[in-house]
């Protein structure tokens, strides 16, 4: 969908649907042709006063706008960037429901008052783009694109903060990167195998972005025994994908690692059948990493550092050659690992990626994103992801990026006794702790990974609760969320 922005008077707005965004307590601004309808609605008490409340109006006489939607932003004191993002998503959804081909969103002067223009524009651009997203599943019928082809923000002539117009376009590009990640996450495992995920990553190469992918023979040469152990139960070969963005004169290198299990049955430690179809989403960490590079390629994110995207990707199936509980494998840094549960496989493919990244690129910092544990859903639900790390400054930067982007995080602790729980009698480490006896499943997953980053500042984001199945909001209605793309863009861009 094309998204633009301009400054102008309401009466000049030529569009299928004009959305007037106003705060509770103010009289909405409307073009002259809608004043009679507004007066009638006000007399009847039909002006919405609650957050996301709306009312459709029609013009009397000639009008350049065919319809007008009053959209209430709620109380001004509660109106933050996340609410603005949701409101823009509501506007896009209303436009699609009304079969509008074009839409203009007009924030009132009171909506704009006192706001940072860049943050306001980003939120509105992102919300419009993400709100219009619809996954097109495979079908014998020809895909029907949504009617809404053009959307924009009509900035008020007075009171528009500096930077608003330019930021809308950037926000739309960031939203498109989120939608790209959603598309990857929503694809079923047979249509997005490790090799096909590598092919999607390769499309992002060009300019300052370079691509390479290691096949299983190359991974074996580099002694990546952990990811190869997970992959050996599947006929689909694993890949280790690398995207390298180098802006030139970069003073720092940051590695961004994303778990890419394109399907996870649990292996020999088989998952319950109910809901196993949702394991298409077990690659959403990798989708966030690729979404970041989509944003970089489009110009929505312009990091000043060298960014290395690393995606270990495989399937985890209970085939005849699958690893068994009790097997011992060796990661590429020489660490031996006792596999007590084959369904704790995400940390196995990640440990090779982390260890290899640390040795090869010598990064100044590492961030990884993974749908790692069901325990994080018990702890934090579906709206907030966990952040766990070994460097408080780096963790705090991630938390701040989560706050600014709307991809919310909450910090969990990581202590020496958590790391001690991961030691094995039969190898250097084991891939789970003692479960109910010790608890803290989300922390134990991070504790395992911490052995492979050493002293490099590192933060682990467990996004198992936020990658899909969130509560519906203005810019999200189901399926993969694209969580992490905006967070990474704020953290690194």
294-306 confidence digits (pLDDT tens): 999 999 999 999 9
How does residue 146 score in pLDDT terms, banded at 50, 70 and 90?
confident
For 152-196, the pLDDT digits (tens) are: 999 998 888 999 999 999 999 999 999 999 999 999 999 999 999
b/e per residue 38-60 (b: at least 16 CB within 10 A): beebeeeeebbeebbbebebebe
Residue 437 has pLDDT above 80, yes or no: no
Least confident of 35-49, 55-69, 137-151: 137-151
Alpha-carbon distances, residue 263 vs 160, 214, 374 (angstroms): 47, 19, 16
Residue 289: predicted pLDDT: 99
What are the tens digits of pLDDT across the range 266-304?
999 999 999 999 999 999 999 999 999 999 999 999 999
| Residue-wise DSSP of 85-99 | HHHHHHHHHHHHHTT
Neighbours of 68 (CB within 10 A): 28
Cα–Cα distance measured from residue 428 to residue 444, given in angstroms and rounded to the nearest whole number: 15
Of 66, 134, 202, 271, catalytic: 271
pLDDT band at 43 (very low <50, low <70, confident <90, very high): very high
Lowest mean pLDDT among 41-45, 150-154, 236-240, 431-435: 431-435
Report the C-alpha gap between 216 and 239 in whole angstroms. Answer: 7
Q: What is the mean pLDDT of residues 109-132?
A: 97
CB 138 within 8 A of CB 191: yes
Query: What mean pLDDT do residues 125-135 have?
Result: 97
- Round the average pLDDT of the chain to a whole number and report it: 97
Mean pLDDT of 95-103: 97
- List the catalytic residue out of 55, 347, 473, 486: 347
The pLDDT, as a whole number, for residue 360 is: 99
User: What are residue 285's phi and psi, to 5 degrees?
Assistant: -65, -45
Instruction: Give percent of the chain above pLDDT 70.
Output: 100
Domains and CATH numbers, the chain: 2-153 (3.40.220.10), 182-492 (3.40.630.10)
Whether the Cβ atoms of residue 371 and residue 447 lie closer than 8 Å to each other? no
* DSSP H or E stretch at residue 256: strand 253-258
**Distance between CA 343 and CA 264 in Å, rounded?**
8
CA distance 253 to 184: 26
347 is catalytic: yes
- Residues 486, 126: contact at Cβ < 8 Å? yes
Q: Which helix (H) or strand (E) holds 287?
A: helix 284-298
Sequence-distant (6+) residues with CB within 8 A of 355 are 331, 332, 333, 335, 452
pLDDT at 202: 99
**Is residue 436 pLDDT above 80, yes or no?**
no
- Mean pLDDT, to the nearest integer, of 204-230? 99
Q: What is the mean pLDDT of residues 3-24?
A: 95
Closest CA to 369 of 213, 484, 227, 479: 484
Q: How many CB atoms lie within 10 A of CB 396?
A: 14
- pLDDT recorded at residue 61: 87
Determine the pLDDT at residue 162.
93
Side-chain half-sphere CA neighbours of 232 within 13 A: 19
């Amino acid at each position: 969908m094309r998204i633009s922005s301009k400054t102008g008077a309401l009466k000049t707005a030529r569009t299928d649907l004009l959305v007037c965004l106003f705060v509770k307590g103010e009289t909405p601004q409307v073009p002259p042709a809608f004043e009679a309808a507004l007066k009638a609605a006000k007399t009847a008490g039909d002006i919405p006063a609650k957050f996301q409340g709306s009312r459709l109006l029609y013009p009397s006489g000639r009008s350049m706008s065919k319809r007008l939607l009053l959209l209430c932003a709620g109380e001004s004191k509660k109106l933050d960037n996340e609410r603005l993002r949701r409101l823009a998503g509501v506007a896009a959804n209303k436009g699609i429901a009304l079969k509008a081909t074009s839409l203009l969103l007009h924030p009132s002067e009171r909506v704009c008052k006192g706001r940072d223009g860049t943050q306001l524009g980003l939120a509105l651009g992102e919300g419009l783009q993400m709100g219009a997203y619809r996954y097109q599943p495979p079908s014998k019928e020809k895909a029907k694109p949504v009617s809404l082809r053009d959307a924009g923000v009509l900035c008020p002539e007075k009171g528009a903060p500096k930077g608003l117009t330019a930021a809308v376009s950037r926000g739309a590009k960031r939203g498109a990167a989120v939608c790209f990640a959603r598309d990857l996450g929503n694809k079923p495992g047979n249509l997005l195998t490790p090799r096909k995920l590598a092919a999607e990553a390769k499309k992002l190469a060009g300019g300052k972005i370079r691509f390479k992918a290691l096949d299983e023979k190359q991974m074996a040469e580099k002694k990546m025994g952990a990811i190869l152990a997970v992959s050996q139960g599947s006929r689909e070969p694993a890949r280790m994908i690398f995207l390298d963005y180098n802006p030139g004169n970069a003073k720092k290198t940051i590695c961004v690692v994303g778990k890419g299990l394109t399907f996870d049955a649990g292996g020999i430690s088989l998952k319950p059948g109910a809901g196993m179809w949702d394991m298409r989403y077990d690659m959403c960490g990798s989708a966030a990493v690729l979404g970041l590079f989509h944003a970089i390629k489009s110009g929505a994110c312009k990091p000043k550092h060298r960014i290395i995207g690393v995606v270990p990707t495989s399937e985890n199936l209970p085939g005849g050659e699958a690893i068994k509980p009790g097997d011992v494998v060796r990661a590429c840094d020489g660490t031996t690992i006792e596999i007590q549960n084959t369904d704790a496989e995400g940390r196995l493919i990640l440990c090779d990626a982390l260890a290899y990244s640390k040795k090869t690129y010598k990064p100044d910092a590492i961030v990884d994103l993974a749908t790692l544990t069901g325990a994080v859903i018990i702890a934090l639900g579906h709206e907030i992801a966990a952040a766990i790390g070994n460097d408080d400054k780096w963790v705090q930067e991630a938390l701040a990026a989560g706050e600014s982007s709307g991809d919310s995080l909450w910090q969990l602790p990581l202590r020496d006794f958590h790391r001690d729980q991961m030691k094995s009698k039969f190898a250097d480490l084991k891939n789970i702790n003692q479960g109910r006896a010790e608890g803290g499943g989300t922390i134990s997953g991070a504790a395992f990974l911490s052995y492979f980053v050493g002293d490099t500042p590192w933060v682990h984001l467990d996004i198992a609760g936020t990658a899909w199945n969130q509560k519906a909001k203005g810019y999200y209605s189901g399926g993969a969320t694209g969580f992490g793309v905006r967070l990474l863009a704020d953290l690194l861009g």
